[in-house]
Structure 1
Amino acid sequence: MLSSPLIVLILFLTIGTSVCYEKSYANHQVWRLHITNNEQIAKISAFSHIAHLHDINFWSEHFRIDEPVDVRVPPAAVDSFAEFLTSDGVKIEYVVHMGDVGAIIENQKIVQNLTRLLSNTNDFAYDKYHTLEEIQAWIDQMVSTYSELATLFTVGKSYENRDIIGFKISSKKMATKLDGTKTAMKKAVWWDGGIHAREWISPATVIYIAYTFLSKYGQDPTITHLVDQFDFYILPVFNVDGYVYTWTKDRLWRKTRSKTSVPTCFGADPNRNWDYHWCENGASHDPCSDTFCGGKAFSEIEVSQVAKYIADQQGAIVHYINFHSYSQLWMSPWGWTAARPAQYKLQDDGSVVAINALAALYGTKYGHGSIAEIIYVSSGSSADWTYGTANVTFSYGVELRDTGEYGFLLPENQIIPTGQETLAGLIALVQYIEKHVYA
């Protein structure tokens, strides 16, 4: 048994070889703004478009009366932002929600390093966050271990020449229609995580769910039935370059890592870059903004390649989810407009089925509705493209835990509960979808 001083010494000697960030968030705070009227909404909305000029980052992107707005504020902007919130005769009340973001990141980093140091097994830990290298090794392991069910697929290469890989789960059995007849036209499901790099709970949840489907096939009758009925395309990490960057340079990085027209600003928002009502509303043309839509639709190679891969399935995919954090929301199209699509009730009823099953496990409450109505207008999103162009009827964007207590820094002890409740929601949703696509 190692002594405590020795553990600490070894830990700090090994920090540089595992989780280590170049960008410091020491003494950065997260303020929670209290919005009570439309004048305040207008004021904060206008400021959000230039907030990045002050290194102020809105963790909440939807501004509604009586809903909290979380904003990261660096030490240099504390006084000026506080003054702004009381200016122009429109006062916005706030509380300091997180006193030191950097300390939270550093504490989590220490726990992660200590766990890795003291681990006595090479097994993949489903209650831990993992690097891209570890996740891709896990994919290889799943394909090898469950070779009768899982096959590797490669979407393509990222901007920085990393492989974008996932795997397909398929029992190779024919699907059964509701009338009992067999059909060779098996429908498919696509679930992806990590489109926004800093949202680590997203890949972790997709990984947990995919492993459960593989390991429980042949044991759990419900999962066995669904795997026999559908093919499942699993892409744990969409934005591979951005995800690596969050592990090595900047824990709170969101975008891709492509070069832009501004030499000091990198990447585009991969969930504003899809070629469906691209950059009309709820996105920015400013390369330095976190919601930069890119120089053109599908400018980001990761986005264009995922879209092509989905399109190449020639209509087999009937269900798509792009997992995010945070806010606990189950959302359907549209994002680009508050107008509802013709199949909105069919889609939203599926959301209700999912969140009811999810809540039954731990009581976690999710909201539901269209993207534009429940969170914000955002054009060029994945769910809008998969529904509007690829004709994937049951397209969703899901915001996982939590509602802001930890935000993008959700502790590892919430990975398994998040995975378990999300799995319950997904099983119920896919059962709902089955009744409609195999009628």
Structure 2
Amino acid sequence: MKVSGLTAALLLGATGALASATPKVGKVSYDGYKAYRIATSGKDAAAIKDKLASFAAVQFNFDTQEHLDVAIAPEEVSAFEALSLPTTIMSEDLGAEIATEGNFGVYEKNVSTSAAVPSLTWFDAYHAYADHITFFNDLAASFPQNSEIFTVGSSFQGRSIFGIHLWGSGGKGSKPAVYFHGTVHAREWITAKVVEYITYKLLVDYSTDTAVKAILDKYDFYILPFVNPDGFVYTQSTNRLWRKNRQTRSGASCVGTDVNRNWPYKWELTGGASTNPCDETYKGAAAGDTPENKALTNFTLSLANSKGIKLYIDWHSYGQYILTPYGYNCQARPANQARQNALAQGLANKIREKYGTRFTYGPACSTLYATTGDSTDYITDVAKAEFAWTIELRPGGSSSGNNGFVLPAAQILPSSVEQWEGMKYLLANV
């Protein structure tokens, strides 16, 4: 969910007008870019941005009170280091890490079964978008009594926004909804992998694990791994650090709208999104005016009007946060905030048990930063979900091994396993 400029031409002190402009032909290269974490200590953030205004840089994060994560073009590294800012190294060569991450794995089936169940080697690497579609089709084909593929609509470029519906005893559509979104911000590749692992475990372990059976018998799951498919495909073909959708607009030279600032609730407020089509948090010309959001809001309301939504999670990266409502106001709290805090704390504790990974929890605005027109506020107040959270996955606040959005493939499975352990706790207790 964090915000960044996307091309070498982005100036940190500017509006980001060049970040979302129609790109040049060819794949965007980050070869030789060096990524730094700059300590800001809150009051220093604006002054540091002023010093960087003349650099061609890529800013990774928006919550700059404690630190500013930024990648510097190779020809400007010496000048940047001459500023003597308080920095630590995040990446020695961002382009090299992107290249390694882009060594997509071969999709394999589990040879020990006669069904088309995907192999767990799926979580050893990242994969091409077409393989993700095959992964979900094969899962649904392997468990036809408990799952099916569905679509909620189409993206701006006409790709299906698909999901998988899971159910247990009582049949499909008979229980309250648990509802997951992944990859609304295109560059956050780890989110798709995590929701895929959770989906995999719910189906594969249903017949052998009594705790999993109890969860799937209690809720219907609706899991949408790619709510921004156009953007995700673009990260694989052209610009690994692309964030928004790929919507063009008449009279605008810049491409894309932030689908998670376009939900038709508190959209009109200021301070949590941008009205500039060239900015990374561009909210759109009107509330809910992206094709993706129109499809998502209609589907969300259909769940709300059926059996209701018990739990919604919008999966993002990075930062290691569990964020409860609200984003639009730092003082606003839901009526069940105490219960939300207790569950979020329990989730953070359970995640930490596996590998020691620490997650910070709390209301989104006061814990991280203000957002308007976001999904969790809409799903809390309009769709009346009992719990609607954002989870920001690895990496976290430590500079060591923190590559931002380019999370090494070796961290896919640990990220997924720790979230699965947390989800088992959460789903047993909501």
Where on the TM-score scale, by shorter chain, does this alignment land: which range?
A: 0.7 to 0.9
Deviations 1:364-414 (A, max 9, x none): 110000111111111111111111211112000000111251211111111
Q: Could you tell me which residue of structure 2 aligns to residue 68 of structure 1?
A: 67
The one of 291, 311, 328 equivalent to 1:336 is 328
1:281 equivalenced with 2:282 (yes/no): no
Is 1:168–2:165 an aligned residue pair?
yes
Whole-Å separation in 1 of the counterparts to 2:108 and 2:330: 51
Taking the aligned partners of 1:28 and 1:286, their CA distance within structure 2 comes to: 27
**How far apart, CA to CA, are the structure 1 residues paired with 2:262 and 2:56?**
23
Tell me if structure 2 keeps the 8 A contact 1:347–1:393. no
Indicate the residue corresponding to 1:228 in structure 2.
217
**Match for 2:198: what amino acid?**
I
How far does the alpha carbon of each residue in 1:191-246 deviate from its partner, in whole angstroms, 9 at most, with x for none? 12111111110000000110100000021001100100100111111110000011
Change in Cα spacing, 1:61 to 1:262, as seen in structure 2 (3 Å) is: farther
1:139 paired residue among 136, 141, 148: 136
SS in 1 for 2:279: coil
Q: Which residue of 2 aligns with 1:368?
A: 361
> How many angstroms apart in 2 are the aligned matches of 1:117 and 1:237?
18
Alignment of 1:76-225 (within 5 A): 92-109=85-102, 112-113=103-104, 115-116=105-106, 123-124=118-119, 125-173=122-170, 186-225=175-214
Alpha-carbon distance in structure 1 between the residues aligned to 2:108 and 2:424: 35
Supply the AA of the counterpart residue of 1:381. Answer: D
- Give the structure with the larger helix fraction: 1
| Alpha-carbon distance in 2 for matches of 1:274, 1:82 | 41
Distance in 2, matches of 1:348 and 1:383, equals 16
Counterpart of 1:401 in structure 2 is: 394
Q: Distance in 1 between matches of 2:157 and 2:193?
A: 23
TM-score of the superposed pair, with normalisation by structure 2: 0.84
Q: What secondary structure sits across from 2:388 in the alignment? A: strand
- Give the length in aligned residue pairs: 390
1:234 aligns to what SS in structure 2? strand
Percent identical residues: 30
- C-alpha displacement of 1:46: 7.9
**CA 1:133–1:370: 2 relative to 1, 3 Å:** same
Q: Distance in 1 between matches of 2:274 and 2:97?
A: 30
Greater shift, 226-235 or 277-286, is seen at: 277-286
Pair 1:366–1:303, CA change in 2 (3 A): same
Asked if 2 retains the 8 angstrom alpha-carbon contact of 1:45 and 1:63, the reply is no
Cα 1:254/1:364, change in 2 over 3 Å: same
Q: Which amino acid aligns with 2:266?
A: H
What is the root-mean-square deviation in Å for CA atoms of aligned residues? 2.7
Q: Which residue of 2 aligns with 1:34?
A: 39
Distance of 1:43 and 1:367 partners within structure 2: 27
* 1:190 shift after superposition: 0.3
| Inter-partner Cα distance in structure 1 for 2:407 and 2:162 | 25
> CA contact under 8 A between 2:324 and 2:388: conserved in structure 1?
yes
Secondary structure of the residue that 1:312 maps to in structure 2?
helix
Aligned counterparts of 2:89 and 2:123: Cα–Cα separation in 1: 33
C-alpha separation between the residues in 2 aligned to 1:120 and 1:146?
Answer: 14
Q: Any idea what SS the aligned residue of 1:421 has?
A: helix
List alignment gaps of at least 5 residues for structure 1. 1-20, 176-183, 434-439
Q: Secondary structure at the match of 1:409?
A: coil
Separation in 1, partners of 2:366, 2:61: 15
Question: Highest Rg: 1 or 2?
Answer: 1
C-alpha distance in 1 between matches for 2:47 and 2:211: 50
Q: Which residue identity lines up with residue 57 of structure 1 in the other structure? A: V
Partner of 2:19: none
Pick closer, same or farther for the CA change 1:382–1:99 going to 2, 3 Å. same
1:248-281 deviations in Å (ceiling 9; x for gaps): 1111111100003565421111111111211522
Contact 2:341 2:362 (C-alpha < 8 Å) held by counterparts: yes
Shift of 1:76: 5.9
What secondary structure does 1:276 align onto?
coil
Tell me how far 1:185 sits from its aligned partner. Answer: 6.1
- Cα distance in 2 between the residues matched to 1:260 and 1:119: 42
Corresponding position: 1:415 with 2:399: no
- 1:45, 1:303 → 2: CA distance? 33
3-state DSSP of counterpart to 1:402:
coil
Query: Paired residue for 1:43, among 43, 47, 59?
Result: 47
CA distance in 2, matches of 1:45, 1:353: 37
The aligned residue for residue 294 of structure 1 is: 284
- Normalised TM-score (structure 1): 0.82
C-alpha distance in 1 between matches for 2:288 and 2:58: 25
Q: Equivalents in 2 of 1:47, 1:384: separation in Å? A: 36
Distance 2:338 2:109 in 1: 48
